[in-house]
């Protein structure tokens, strides 16, 4: 198998992407986004469930769900294109988690997983909760236990937990860790929201006391399921970062063309111009890696993990650099709550660390190149 | 005998003894409320009151304004502020709240104000009874400070002020503002004049102060709007049209390159200052897990911590070396780097703190599980205040390239 | 069927078959002499002869200049050069020596020269029988190319040329030069005209070529001095005063942003090209010891190798993405990055190679113990040729900021 | 003990430093240096032994040698000031190695070492050869053996070997490694010069076949002697780097003030101006660390290793950055053999790696901060 020369991004994918971009530009222009997430109404939900229903109706949730489960059955590169648009819009929604869940469920490959995929295709939001208290998603870093088909303990760092209908949780049994589906409204399950910097998402710790669960992967098999889904997990976060980084670049370039100091547009000054060029270069490399990784998931799984490590490390660096220059070059106004830049800036702080920051992914690449230290 | 004491003059030596014994006996109790990372972020009256009480006590003991003349409320000493600062920074004392007054307004008034004005405003400035703020930046005048549009129109011996200042830290507590205003629209640099303005007395009567919210969610700076505010010509510093020259005195002191030593308390030994950055991050790394691995074992984190250590200690050693004539080439070369280095070290430290903490890095100040009380995301965001305000890092590099290296002026 | 073949037109498909079978049967034997890292560093006649023989053979087989018209010595095909390049780069073939001719002179002559001139010069250019060089830079005209002072004075239908060109790669082997010269001193950009000059025929008769020694100790580029050289007006490209426009065509092709595809051979599979950088460095790291530790175990080396991998593969993937309309925003955005990225990746690779090798890193090419034959210090030093020549990295960033991002022009 | 506020750099040190700077500016102006090392006369020695004799006569070799051994007995900060001037002049000479040797000999602290110190004070050049084939200078990375008071094997990476009168060599005996003095003209000793990039020094591998040696540190004690001298070894190389970096900065600034493009001095452009400012900042940090480390050797040995690690990492980074910007901003001319910059550029390539590059020193600092990995 090999990656096609257009990364598998054909006419259908382009149509979907363009429609998504237009939809989000119309439905969630940045001023509306800012009011929604930074408007400071006490107790406001900071996202728009009605918009989510529209997105579900457009088939976004099930874009990668096989047709046998009622989904659209498009290649993974289409899901990545949607995630990139979500990043460009700093969209508060459970979309990324739901697309990640589709990848995990596809890796389970059984009737129970197909049932959840069918829920996704019908518009349900599913959030993965596979990261342990120490930030790892493989091995024994896990604070949930399974006994008699019920889960007890805590799940950490669950993204967009308050928006989810179903959770995919890793839990430890006597034979190792397995993967389970739990309904968000199941008795015995409660959410402790984390107070995070990012305004455009929510994060929570889940407490479970004997909550009934559906087994998706038997004890001892969670790691292999997660390993199979890792390239997709990483690539979807990379897409969010790439879309956001491009928004940050374009918004800052626009400001640098308008803002005058010393009787010149500030973009005249190489101290502004050259870093913005470097941001563009970083984004372009990240985007090229992004489509390559997405296409590898579709067409060449053997190289997809390596491609995804490259994509996440490039995207995290591009977004980090782009976000910091966006605030700096907006000057005093960029440092205020009212400036839209802050919403994107904070979302990237969160995205960067999610499923491993740039340095962690590079450490994995170094192992692929050189073997482990001391080898 | 401490190293810094080794070269004291007799006056300094006696004064140092006084400082030590007074501080030992008069260190204030810990603050009953949580204090922000610097005076520029004071948000509540409780924070202010606690810090003002400390400044007043230190002033009354002669530790603030030691080198100013007695008739300006000072101590009339010679090169003793440095001694007081050393002793206060050695202690666990808090910082002073009147940071803009002490660091910028006082030397500017001292060099450019009339004798009457100095006697009028400096005593309550030094004691902290009257807080000062700085009215320089405007929506259209940031890096290009000389393009300020706030206009002061002369009417006999009065001036009528209209305009809009922004990023005015402490304005919500301030009695006075140092104001750079345009008095002539036909000339950019020569059309500026410099005033001190009693803004508190004029609240609601020509002056409106509105808080601006920072990206951190904190307030701390403000916009200040002038509508037909009248002030007396006696509040002008230096001549009409010399405002830019006066502002240069202010900025030189702000950048740490001024002649007068700013009274400073708190700092290196308190754990909140720069000296605490690396040790706090080391502590954080020992406690933090990233992707299932202890952050202290992450090779890239280790390398960045060592880099930060080298930068931070280099910065501190620069300050020491700047005082050794034989080891510096250009009189301003080290001091003009101060603000740039301080702000960029703070930015990297904040960023590194978030990276060390991994998933927990973006837990914010209101989350009880946030590592080190959410200090690092807060510090990272606030660091952009430092790299933007008071001359952006880009402007600082211009200044260094032009004044120290003698390269052609960019603008 | 290979991926690149998937979308071939019928003509391309048949041509690809021809290329494959011809290359398989006609790959040249390994060079009897050590070849430099690129054609710009050809130093000896032996190196040149070996490479010219390959270019001539490939030309005779129709693999060079496929898309040029038949009467210009081309193959008269449509979009087939890309196919030939893909097949040649897949093979272990060497590169072409006439790199400036193929990449810059040929498209410039094709778009701006008279039909007679094209028929006169292009066949021997494409076959490699006549080597070309580029006469743009001067001692006073580097980044500011439009300030060239070499003057061409009109005398009837002849021009008399006087001036001094520098950094002229391949001039010591070249039959022809593309020359940017001033024809009017009263106008900067509109005072330039563009010529092709038969320098080899004029050696000693108005043209002097002198080698310049690079910091590496290698020659490879030259200075070329014109003293009253007369050439015919038929050797002018486009109108008098249009030299800057013509030069833009040359530079667009040099930067990889031109319309015509440059014939290219060698490269990715040979181990000397970019694709080989990371794997060569990995190999080096496994063999190298630094401070008593294997370099492959050094965490900072590991991180930098991974960074280089991401940059280098990103660069390569950019070239692929640039051809997918739906995944690019601005037509020039990716292609205009080409030269900047290539040169900076090469610089970091050279530097990293030296760092990996530790104490052995500065053993040079003539030391038999030098790791990988001293490749890395040589590559590091030569990389500054890339970041300086053909538009410095600083100029490249201006171009990207202005043409792609639409920011105000700096100069 | 604590480091004085003037780093112990008093009037005497300043007088010595200023005299050295003047001497080198007069005796070895850059055009003469370039002719000397880059003049390409076949078989030319590429250094000036007569100049070395003058330097010895001025007391430079014995600057830190105790008066009891005939030396000047100045503090280490004076030796560092000389090394910084040597770096500023890119001085081809065995001075740095001889100053390093003084530190090693002082750490031996016995009559045999004092005898070599006396030779140094009288103007002899001494080169350390303690680095093993794998680049380490501690432990078992050593290819020399001692038997019956004679050394056999090879010594690697010996700096300025062709200029030395005496070598200090590490050799392995049955009880561990010891340190030995060997005369350069001893029978059985031969030099294989390395072909190195740097034109301003020489480097060689020494082959020894039963060469008589004087024991300076008994087998098993070389590591502790070397450990005691490490801060001085690192700091002297840092001084060379700092002096060179300042030369590179000033030379490039001068060019940026003169060279015109686009009708402006190139220093007008922030793409030139700001990196030069960053070079200056890097140098200043490195110099502050340098004097601190030098003074720590004199006044506070307990912190001197940490200070020296900081100094070498800061100096290596400053010189690397400064050298690369010097070539880049000199443009085409900076890339030629005839440009003086190349001599300094190449010397820094060599200096950076000597006794550990910046990353290696930072790894040691990280161990001081955090303990070893996995602690």
Q: What is the pLDDT of residues B106-119, one digit of tens each?
A: 999 999 999 999 99
- B303:D362 CB<8 A: yes
Convert the pLDDT of each residue in C83-99 to its tens digit: 999 999 888 899 999 99
Chain D residue with Cα closest to C385: D335
Tally of CB atoms within 10 A around B46: 14
- With 50 as the cut, is the pLDDT of residue C273 above it? no
Is-contact D239 D89, C-beta < 8 A? no
φ, ψ of residue B335 to 5 degrees: the values are -65, -35
Option in D5, D370, D375 nearest B320 (CB): D5
Name B197's bridge partners. Answer: B177
- Rounded Cα gap, residues A215 and B121, in angstroms: 75
pLDDT at D1: 65
Residue bearing tokens 């005996």 = D173
Is-contact A350 A198, C-beta < 8 A? yes
- Token duo for residue C338: 């080409």
| Residue among B87, B130, B138, B254 flagged as catalytic | B254
DSSP secondary structure string, B339-351?
Answer: HHHHHHHHHHHHH
pLDDT at C254: 85
pLDDT at A43: 73
- With 50 as the cut, is the pLDDT of residue B272 above it? no
- Token duo for residue A344: 């994107």
- Token duo for residue B107: 């030397």
> How would you classify residue B275: left for phi > 0, otherwise alpha for psi between -120 and 50, otherwise beta?
alpha
pLDDT at C329: 85
Put simply, whether C408 touches D (Cβ < 8 Å) is no
pLDDT at D42: 67
Alpha helices by DSSP H, listed for C164-298, are 243-254, 275-287
Instruction: Tell me how far CA of residue C119 lies from CA of A354, B71, B83, B321, C102, in angstroms.
Output: 61, 93, 86, 71, 15
- With 90 as the cut, is the pLDDT of residue B260 above it? no
Shortest Cα distance, chain A CAs vs residue C4, angstroms: 7
Over residues C218-232, mean pLDDT: 93
φ, ψ of residue C293 to 5 degrees: the values are -120, 145
What is the band of B270 on the pLDDT scale with cuts at 50, 70, 90?
very low
Shortest Cα distance, chain C CAs vs residue D306, angstroms: 18
Q: What percent of chain B has pLDDT over 70?
A: 96
Over residues A181-187, mean pLDDT: 98
Which residues of chain A lie closer than 8 angstroms to D270, CB-CB? 269-271, 274
- Token duo for residue C317: 């993937």
pLDDT at B90: 84
Chains that touch B (3 or more CB pairs under 8 A): A, C, D
Alpha helices by DSSP H, listed for B152-274, are 243-254
pLDDT at C270: 38
- With 90 as the cut, is the pLDDT of residue D310 above it? yes
pLDDT at B258: 78
- With 80 as the cut, is the pLDDT of residue D353 above it? yes
Residue bearing tokens 């280790």 = B302
Q: Which of A254, A370, A375 to mutate to test the interface with C (most CBs of C within 10 A)?
A: A370
What is the band of C271 on the pLDDT scale with cuts at 50, 70, 90?
very low
- With 70 as the cut, is the pLDDT of residue B269 above it? no
What is the band of C249 on the pLDDT scale with cuts at 50, 70, 90?
very high
What is the band of A1 on the pLDDT scale with cuts at 50, 70, 90?
low
Q: Strands A166-173 and A126-129: what pairing?
A: parallel
Alpha carbon B404 to its chain centroid, in Å, reads 23
DSSP category for residue C169: T
Convert the pLDDT of each residue in B172-209 to its tens digit: 999 999 999 999 999 999 999 999 999 999 999 999 99
Over residues A107-112, mean pLDDT: 98
Chains that touch C (3 or more CB pairs under 8 A): A, B, D
Over residues C141-162, mean pLDDT: 95
What is the band of B3 on the pLDDT scale with cuts at 50, 70, 90?
low
- Rounded Cα gap, residues B357 and A194, in angstroms: 15
- C310:A265 CB<8 A: no
- Rounded Cα gap, residues D180 and D194, in angstroms: 23
- Token duo for residue C300: 């900072």
- With 70 as the cut, is the pLDDT of residue D191 above it? yes
Report chain C residues touching chain B, CB-CB < 8 A: 299-300, 302-303
Put simply, whether D41 touches B (Cβ < 8 Å) is no
pLDDT at B267: 54
Put simply, whether D254 touches C (Cβ < 8 Å) is no
What is the band of C118 on the pLDDT scale with cuts at 50, 70, 90?
very high
- With 60 as the cut, is the pLDDT of residue C267 above it? no
Chains that touch D (3 or more CB pairs under 8 A): A, B, C
* Interface size between B and D, measured as CB pairs under 8 A: 147
pTM: predicted TM-score of the whole model, two decimal places: 0.94
Is-contact B395 B143, C-beta < 8 A? yes
- With 90 as the cut, is the pLDDT of residue A96 above it? yes
- B46 catalytically annotated: no
Q: Which of B295, B296, B299, B306 to mutate to test the interface with C (most CBs of C within 10 A)?
A: B299
φ, ψ of residue B375 to 5 degrees: the values are -55, -40
CATH code linked to domain A223-370: 1.20.140.10
| Domains of chain D by residue range | 223-370
pLDDT at C276: 78
pLDDT at B34: 86
- Rounded Cα gap, residues B161 and C75, in angstroms: 78
Convert the pLDDT of each residue in B8-24 to its tens digit: 899 999 999 999 999 99
- With 60 as the cut, is the pLDDT of residue A235 above it? yes
- With 60 as the cut, is the pLDDT of residue C293 above it? yes
Most confident of C31-40, C271-280, D258-267: D258-267
pLDDT at C37: 76
- With 50 as the cut, is the pLDDT of residue C109 above it? yes
Put simply, whether D234 touches B (Cβ < 8 Å) is no
């Amino acid at each position: 198998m090999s990656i096609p020369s257009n990364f598998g991004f054909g006419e259908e994918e382009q149509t979907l992407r363009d429609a998504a971009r237009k939809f989000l530009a119309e439905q969630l222009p940045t001023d509306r986004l800012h009011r929604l997430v930074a408007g400071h109404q006490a107790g406001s939900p900071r996202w728009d469930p009605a918009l989510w229903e529209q997105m579900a109706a457009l088939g976004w949730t099930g874009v990668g769900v096989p047709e046998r489960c009622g989904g659209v059955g498009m290649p993974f590169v289409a899901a990545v294109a949607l995630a990139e648009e979500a990043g460009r819009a700093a969209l508060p929604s459970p979309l990324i988690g739901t697309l990640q869940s589709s990848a995990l469920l596809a890796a389970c490959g059984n009737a129970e997983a197909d049932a959840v995929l069918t829920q996704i295709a019908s518009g349900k939001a599913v959030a993965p909760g596979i990261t342990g208290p120490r930030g790892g998603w493989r091995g024994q870093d896990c604070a949930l236990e399974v006994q008699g088909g019920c889960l007890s303990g805590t799940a950490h760092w669950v993204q967009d937990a308050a928006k989810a209908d179903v959770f995919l949780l890793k839990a430890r049994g006597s034979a190792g860790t397995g993967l389970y589906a739990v309904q968000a409204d199941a008795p015995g399950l409660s959410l402790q929201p984390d107070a995070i910097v990012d305004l455009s998402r929510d994060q929570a710790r889940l407490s479970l006391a004997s909550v009934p669960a559906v087994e998706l992967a038997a004890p001892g098999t969670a790691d292999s399921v997660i390993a199979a889904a890792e390239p997709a997990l990483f690539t979807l976060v990379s897409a969010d970062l790439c879309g956001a980084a491009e928004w940050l670049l374009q918004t800052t370039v626009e400001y640098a063309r308008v803002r005058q100091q010393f009787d010149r547009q500030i973009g005249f000054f190489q101290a502004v111009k050259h870093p913005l060029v470097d941001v563009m270069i970083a984004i372009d490399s990240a985007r090229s890696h992004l489509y390559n990784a997405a296409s590898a998931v579709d067409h060449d799984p053997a190289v997809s993990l390596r491609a995804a490590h490259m994509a996440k490390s490039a995207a995290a660096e591009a977004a980090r650099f782009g976000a910091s220059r966006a605030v700096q070059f907006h000057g005093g106004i960029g440092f205020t709550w009212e400036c839209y830049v802050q919403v994107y800036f904070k979302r990237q702080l969160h995205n960067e660390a999610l499923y491993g920051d740039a340095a962690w992914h590079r450490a994995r690449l170094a192992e692929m190149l050189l073997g482990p230290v001391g080898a | 005998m401490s190293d810094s004491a080794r070269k004291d003059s007799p006056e300094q030596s006696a004064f140092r003894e006084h400082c030590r014994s007074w501080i030992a006996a008069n260190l204030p109790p810990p603050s009953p409320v949580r204090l922000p990372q610097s005076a520029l972020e004071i948000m509540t009256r409780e924070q202010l009151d606690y810090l003002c009480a400390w400044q007043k006590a230190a002033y009354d003991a002669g530790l603030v304004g030691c080198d100013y003349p007695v008739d300006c409320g000072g101590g009339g000493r010679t090169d003793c502020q440095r001694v007081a600062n050393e002793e206060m920074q050695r202690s666990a004392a808090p910082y002073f709240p009147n940071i803009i007054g002490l660091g910028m307004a006082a030397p500017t008034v001292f060099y450019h104000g009339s004798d009457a004005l100095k006697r009028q405003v400096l005593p309550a400035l030094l004691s902290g009874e009257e807080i000062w703020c700085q009215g320089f930046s405007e929506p259209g005048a940031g890096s290009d400070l000389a393009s300020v549009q706030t206009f002061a129109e002369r009417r006999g011996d009065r001036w009528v002020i209209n305009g809009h200042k922004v990023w005015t830290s402490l304005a919500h507590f301030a009695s006075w503002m140092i104001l750079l205003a345009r008095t002539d629209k036909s000339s950019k640099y020569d059309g500026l004049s410099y005033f001190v303005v009693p803004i508190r007395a004029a609240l609601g009567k020509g002056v409106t102060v509105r808080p601006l919210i920072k990206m951190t969610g904190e307030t701390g700076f403000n916009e200040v709007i002038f509508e037909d505010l009248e002030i007396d010509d006696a509040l002008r510093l230096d001549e009409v049209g010399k405002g830019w020259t006066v502002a240069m005195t202010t900025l030189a002191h702000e950048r740490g390159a001024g002649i007068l030593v700013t009274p400073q308390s708190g700092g290196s030994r308190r754990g909140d200052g720069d000296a605490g950055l690396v040790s706090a991050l080391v502590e954080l790394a020992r406690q933090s897990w990233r992707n299932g691995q202890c952050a202290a074992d992450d090779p890239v984190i280790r390398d960045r911590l060592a880099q930060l250590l080298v930068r931070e200690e280099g910065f501190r050693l620069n300050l020491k070396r700047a005082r050794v004539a034989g080891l510096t080439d250009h009189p301003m070369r080290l001091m003009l780097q101060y603000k740039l280095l301080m702000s960029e070290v703070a930015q990297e430290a904040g960023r590194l703190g978030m990276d060390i903490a991994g998933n927990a890095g973006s837990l914010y100040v209101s989350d009880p599980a946030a590592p080190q009380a959410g200090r690092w995301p807060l510090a990272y965001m606030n660091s952009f205040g430092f790299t933007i305000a008071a001359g952006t890092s880009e402007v600082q590099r211009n200044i260094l390239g032009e004044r120290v290296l003698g390269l052609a002026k960019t603008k």
